[in-house]
Each structure stands twice: as C-alpha cells, then as structure tokens.
Structure 1
C-alpha cells in the first residue's frame, strides 16, 4: 500500500514538476476601445486577465505571447483564383475614423488561424508548403506590394505554456501542448509591413497566393481569424495561508483560501520562508526544496521542505508540506505558490474572461471554452514506466515500441492524442546522414515516421504533428549534431519534409 508514496517520492526527485497539474488553457482576443486615444497598445506576455466571478472567485489567466495591439480588424475572408493561382483574401479595416494606414506603426502582423482542427491545420500546411508569395493591395490605389514567402514565419510562437527548468524534459511539454491545446500552434507572422506608412488608406487587402488549390470543402470564415490573439493559461502567483510550525506534526496541509478550498489548486511551490524570533530579534530562514537538493549547497542552512500530493474523501487533490530543520523553535511559515483555479474555469462560457489589468483602453474576451485541468495519477506502474525510460538513449527511442512507451509515460492513459498517434504509427526508420551547417560538417540522424493519415481529421493534422515531432526529436540530439524528420503518409504516399534542426542537448 506504500508503493504510491514511494513512487511519488522518487518521481519528485527525478522530475519534480511531473506530478504538477496542467492548468486550464484558453485562447484570448484583444481590441482597442473605440474611445481610446492612443494608436496602439503593447500587451506583454505574462499579462493577467480575469474572468467574471464564479461563486465570488474570479479565475486568473496569464497571456503566453506578446500582443502588439493596433486599431485593425479583419472585415472579410474569402477564396478566389486566377488562371494559375489560388488566393486566400483577408480584408483589413482600420477601426478608427480619424486614422489611416500612414499612422500604423508596425513592421509585422500576427494572425491566429482559429481553433477548427480541420481548417486551421490545413491552412497552416498550405502556407508552409504551397505559398508562392503575399500581395498587399489598398483601396483607391492600383499599386500592389509583393512579399516573398520568406516573410511568413512561425518561429515567434514557440513560447511554452508552462516553462520547464528540468533539463531534458522540456521536450515532453511540446507533446503535452500538442495534445492538450493544439490551437497554440495556429499562428503565423507576416513580416516586412513597414511600407504601410507610405499609403493613406482606410483598409488594405492581404492576398496569400498558393500554387495549389485548397481541398474541397475549405471555406474560410471570418470568425476563424484574429489579428490580436494569444493563448492564456490559468496560472498565477499567490501566497498560501501562513502555517504555524510548532513541531508537533509531521505534515501540514497547504491552504490558499480555506473559505474557498475548491477555488484554488497549487501547481508548484516557488518559495518557503520561516519567521521566528530570538530575544526579540526577528529571524528569517529560507527553506530549500528536498527534490532539488539545494540545501546541500547552502552554507548557511541545511533546512529543507518536502511536498506530497494527497486526495481527500471527495477526490479533490491538495498538497501537504513537511519541514526538516536543525532546531525545535516554533516558526510561522510563509509559502509562495503558482496556483490555478482547479476545475472552476470549465464553468466559464465564451466571452466571460473579459477583464485585463493595467490596460484601460483595451477590451478582451476568450474565444474558446477553457480546457479542463490535467492531473497525473501516481502509482507503482507509473514509477516503473518512468524508471525504464531513463535508460533510453537517443538511438533507442527511435524504435516504434520504445518511442510509444516514452510518450505513454508522459501522457495521461486516456489521452485521445496518444491513442490516435499510437494506432496511426506503422514504423520508424532511421539512418545516419551528414549535412553542412554554418560552414561545418555535421553528422545527424534522418528519421522517417510512417503514419496512417486516415486516423487523423486531415493531412493538415499530420503536418502539424510533424512540426512538433521535429522540435521534440531535436531536444534529444546533441548541440553538435542534428535531427532531420520526414513523415510518410502510408495511404496517400505523401511525404512531408521538415528539414534539419540542430540539436539542443548539451554535451555531458
């Protein structure tokens, strides 16, 4: 019966953040107020937005990407064609009567492609594989500006929903994000727009010119697109209720708000500080985390704390903390945490996350219903799965069975993405190859994944999967090597080539 406790202790040492819940996520949109006098507003990543209160508690989210807000909106979206090309047209209008394009101060625009799985992934695939160029035209003007396909970029949207400071395991966050909130990937950036200032127009048209027609049934809708959106995660800093450590208990439950127990769930502990007095002199002591072994390097204090996950009779999860110190003095302990609102955000509807701090001229709303919290169930089987994969090398994971075992250890057992990927993967083939990068010859690995595309909603889903797989594999390649990924669709025989990505794993 103690196996889960032992398992959790070992897992927390190996991967301290593994057992943390993965909070609710949504897509958030912003716009300038009509009466706002400024021409633009910058909303940095990490900005806090709040929902309408639920049982007296407002859910807090923080943004993931920077948003450069301008008085613009998409007024039309439609497909057209000429003799040889196929065009996606987006008409962009200025929302303030007194302004025109000559007042726009920007060199780029971000574009969110929507959360429809079929349409967003298909368009993303077309933009990366069949885009010839981009044309910008203006009302009341015959002049057109042509931008090369290289002005379209996806690289600015790699920001993790939750940053991991555990070496080697950030790769699995990529797969988790693909499973839990794939809409995070549905962004592009159009660069090279500084020329907009040369024109005096109230609207302009962006034409994406493709060499290949979109699939049957693809009809762009205005509501799919947004110029000023970002993912937002239900994660925020909050202090716990102080704990009176009188040395009479081995564990203390951590409460964020005892009067609203179900409104808060701790994701991680960021700081533990003890307050005590000695002859009227106040003493502060920083406790170190046991899992991080920081106390071993401390010259001043060897005191540390240990956190365990618990489940109450109503199956609600909570955390308890234990203190290990060199004296028997009573202490008042302050705990700083990163929190989420548990399952509370799933009660929110569209548009109910609508308040932003420190930006009076901005309105905001959630474009998607917040996702549910993902929690790990720790047991003995999980421990052995994790221990077994620690012996995997870069070469050994490129075996179908080992690769799926690796994913299975880091995903929830009933995860739909894991089921779909497992049933679609036929085999993995690899071979050593050489490439020249920056004037230096490098040796790397070519990986070919053979996938049954009929298991997915569209070919676009397979293509987007490959974008993340390529990044995932590059995390395991050393910095002086690389990985090149190709995906072969076994039924259509279509081959996706993702090029080579340099490795990021430091040499030991």
Structure 2
C-alpha cells in the first residue's frame, strides 16, 4: 500500500470519524443492532471493518485531492524531469596539492568522487562540479588598499610552493573562491565584476608589470559544464541556475583571473602580484584578508552511481518499489535521484533486455525488444523524510504488462538523503578510487540539507506555470516572482531561508522590457532589452543584490 502517512493520516481520521458518526445515527434508527454500532469498540470485528473502509476511502479522497498525480507526474517527467527530483546536499571543497608531487598545472576533472567520514556507519559520497587546476602555488597575501589620494585596489600575492618558478609553470588561469561571509564576499564580487578598471600582473622584485583589460576577470559557475545538478539536455538551463542559486548560492562566488600567460615577459620567479584598481571606492570599513580568498575550490554535490536491489517480477503487482542496495546500511541512508537504466535478465540466458522510459523524446522506435517500456512514480516516503520510487512496465499505449524477464536490474543515481547535512567542516576528506593522489582535500563549508521535490497538491499549477512560460509571460514583475517561487524549495523546509528569499522576491520592484535590434557579426538580430528595478533594502547589501541580478541576467539571456 503506497500511502504517505503524514498526509494520509488526516484523510483516514476524517473518514473514520464520519463512519462512527454515521454508525451512531444508524444505530439510533435501528435499535435492534444498536449494541454493535453505538459504542466504540463494542464489537472488534465491526471496528476493524470501519477502520479498513476508512483506510481505503481516505486513499481515494487523497488521490482525488491531488488531481490525479500520475498524469501530471508523467508530463513533468517528460518536459521538466528535474522538478520531480530531490535536491541533494551540497558544499564547497578545497583541494590542497602536494607541491613535491606536481611538475606543473594538473587538472582535477569535474565528477571526481570524494567521501566523508561515516555517519551512523554510512560514508557519504560526493562528486565535484568544477574542473580544478591544481598547481604548486599558494596564496601568500590578499589585502584591500584604501589610499586617500588614489584609487582603492585589491592586491593578491601568489607564491610558488615548490622548486618551480612561475615562468616555468605555464599558468594561464587562477580561480579564486570568495570564502568570506555573505555580505563581504558579495561586496568583493560586486567590485571585481563591476568596478575593476583593469588588472595588473606585477613582479614584486622588479616592479615591472603587464596590464590586462577588466574583462580578464570572469565569473565562474554559469557554464553548463559547471552545473551542480545534472539536468537533462532538453531542460532549460535557466531553471537550473535558479534552482542552484536558491539551494547553493556559494557556487556563484567564484572568480577567474584569466590571461596570466601574458606575464611571461616578466620572467617571474617565485612570486606573482595581481593588482586590481577600482573605479569606485569601497566603504572604509570593508576589509579583505588572506583567508577571504581560497585556491583550488569546487562545489561538491551528494550524488553517486548506485545499483538497486534486484526486482523479482511476478503477476501479483503492477508497481514495484525500487530500493537502492544498502550493503547492510540502513535503507533510509539512501534516496533515488534518478533511474538511469532498467535491464531485464532471464535465468540461463546471457542476453539482456533494455526497458527505456515510456515518457521520453526518443519514444518512437525506442522500445525494448518486447515493445515494453518502464515508467516511474514518486511518493512521499512512508518512513522518514524523502521520496519513495516505484517502477511499472507498460506497452506503448500505456497499459500495464508483465515483462518476460524474471529479474529486473536497475542502475541508479542516488543521494544519502539528509545524512550528509550532519557532516561538519572538514569531515569530507576520505579519498576514493577517482580522487587525485597528489592532493589532499576537505570541505570548507557546512553541508546543506537535502530537499524533497514538491509532490502532491499544487503540482498541476506548477506544470501550468511552466507551460505558460515565454518571454512575453515574464514581462511583469509578478510573473517573474511566480517563476522564482517555483524553484525556492528551501522555503518549504527552512523558515529562515524562506524569509530571506521572500524578502529578495519582494525586492523586485518593477520590470520593463522593450524590443531592440543589434548587429551580431554583421547581421541584425532582434531581442528584448530588460530593465529590472530592485530595492537594496530587501537584500543583505548591494553585493548580495548584484549576485542575484547576475543570476537573473543569465536566466533572461538563455
């Protein structure tokens, strides 16, 4: 029986109370059987019968109130599958390269897996979201100079951590994570991205320098290959940016200094100074310290490949619960993020049968050998927080069938539910088979909690909101707020985050859009110029408002 107990209990109690009240009225009208119905518990068999009827009718009421969730889940799984997936725990990880094991710049690829210490006996596995260019360098100093008679400037000093010089290293880019608290980090982000006059690469010994334009400073975290959440190719990337902003805003606090290869004429030895003068003076109380910036950082997300327990196919059910293999760990330590592949096995046969998803764009001609597809359903977890996943097998006309295979094997992508949110700073430091041998690592931020997808009531309205989305529908600030609220999952579970994000949305004062034409590579291109008015009082500061506006700018541009 697939019943979300928290929601279902209300329906069950209401139906049971109604049956008992009706029983008393019936008993008053028929005195001959009053002894069986008028007093609660007078006949245990009647009590069990009433409870059973209340259980079944409560389930029917719940499905009616949910407006046939199977239909809307099917449409969402085809058009916006990300909306039916939990948001896994995230954090920021820093690698610490061992200089004596590096002979230059080595890239630690995105998708590298790392593990935490065990939590209740289960280690949490994460994968990295960004490529990290590890090099034998360290951050020696970072400071904000505020002279009275000249431009304020940010000064960053890098030093080599091994025997190599900068001239030998062929360093092209340095990525920095703005590791301060939100107000200071966002303010520094604002000044680097908006008020930088230029970038100077200096040799501290000779004071010789090379000047780079301001656009040598670039924001990190917006590219598709820097996504934290794995969206399907046909999903709109703008939604991903919104969802990542509301669940892991720290991923946008990354800055790239590019064009460092142009410092080669300086013949640098063991030190490189990066100076950024600003066209606007920061507040006198604003400070930047060495710990405000971190090298070799990347967001991490609690996602990993996993196998489900085998499913024995029989003729008694149309839906089968998909259970991640636990290897002896408690089952509530795992939650399914996505079903990646469904394979059928027959005892004594080497051949395998693939069962593709029913609701997919490659549906036509994409069925398995037997013309059978699989489809999934999500329900709020019966035990604990999270979601439970069920799979069924259907024909092309959406009728339930029994596959000819005896055992079903399912490849999954999983999370550790809320287990990872119990980790502290420094707890993610256990190597895996894909971790680099030349670098240690640890998480430098707390791990966020996992968020359940908003199933149940209101799913059909969210579907309609997505179906109606286009550039014209977003030409009012009310419509923009409505779309942003769809991806503010945190508001459901965290009251403090809900208040902060509600303030942000209320800080969107007015939106104005007008058609424009621009020449792009010699050809006229039509588009929209969007002017968004925001109220700084609704944000943690001007920098916080600027980061939010930067994400919205990318959302509109995609």
Provide TM-score, normalisation by structure 1.
0.87
Deviation at 1:195, TM superposition (A): 4.5
Structure 2: how far apart are the matches of 1:41 and 1:5?
53
Residues 118, 461 of structure 1: 8 Å contact kept: yes
Deviation by residue 1:207-255 (Cα, 9 ceiling, x = unmatched): 1111221124211122221121111111111111111112322222212
Deviation by residue 1:275-319 (Cα, 9 ceiling, x = unmatched): 014xx4433111111222644423644211121223214344221
Deviation by residue 1:334-368 (Cα, 9 ceiling, x = unmatched): 10111111111111111111134342111111111
Deviation by residue 1:452-479 (Cα, 9 ceiling, x = unmatched): 110101111111111111111123xxxx
User: What residue number does 1:233 align with?
Assistant: 301
User: What residue number does 2:20 align with?
Assistant: none
2:292 to 200, 205, 224: 224
User: What residue number does 1:244 align with?
Assistant: 312
Larger deviation: 267-276 or 295-304? 295-304
Deviation at 1:196, TM superposition (A): 4.7
Q: Does 1:339 align with 2:414?
A: yes
Q: Does 1:17 align with 2:82?
A: yes
Q: Does 1:91 align with 2:91?
A: no
Q: Where does structure 1 differ by over 4 angstroms across 4 or more consecutive aligned residues?
A: 195-198, 325-328
2:276 to 208, 228, 231: 208
User: What residue number does 2:486 align with?
Assistant: 409
Q: Does 1:6 align with 2:6?
A: no
Structure 2: how far apart are the matches of 1:143 and 1:377?
58
Structure 1: how far apart are the matches of 2:89 and 2:70?
23
**CA 1:355 to 1:434, structure 2 compared with 1: closer, same or farther past 3 Å?**
same
**CA 1:228 to 1:157, structure 2 compared with 1: closer, same or farther past 3 Å?**
farther
Residues 8, 378 of structure 1: 8 Å contact kept: no
1:379 to 436, 447, 456: 456
User: What residue number does 1:111 align with?
Assistant: 176
**CA 1:382 to 1:416, structure 2 compared with 1: closer, same or farther past 3 Å?**
farther
* Greater share of strand: 1
Deviation by residue 1:171-220 (Cα, 9 ceiling, x = unmatched): 21111111111111111211221245552522222111112211242111
RMSD, matched Cα: 2.2
Residues 31, 71 of structure 1: 8 Å contact kept: no
* Greater share of helix: 2
2:376 to 307, 310, 314: 307
Higher radius of gyration, 1 or 2: 2
User: What residue number does 1:492 align with?
Assistant: none
Q: Does 1:443 align with 2:526?
A: yes
**CA 1:76 to 1:441, structure 2 compared with 1: closer, same or farther past 3 Å?**
same
User: What residue number does 1:505 align with?
Assistant: none
Larger deviation: 403-412 or 282-291? 403-412
Provide TM-score, normalisation by structure 2.
0.79
User: What residue number does 1:154 align with?
Assistant: 219
**CA 1:161 to 1:8, structure 2 compared with 1: closer, same or farther past 3 Å?**
farther
User: What residue number does 1:319 align with?
Assistant: 389
Residues 511, 530 of structure 2: 8 Å contact kept: yes
Structure 1: how far apart are the matches of 2:370 and 2:430?
43
User: What residue number does 2:538 align with?
Assistant: 455
Deviation at 1:273, TM superposition (A): 0.3
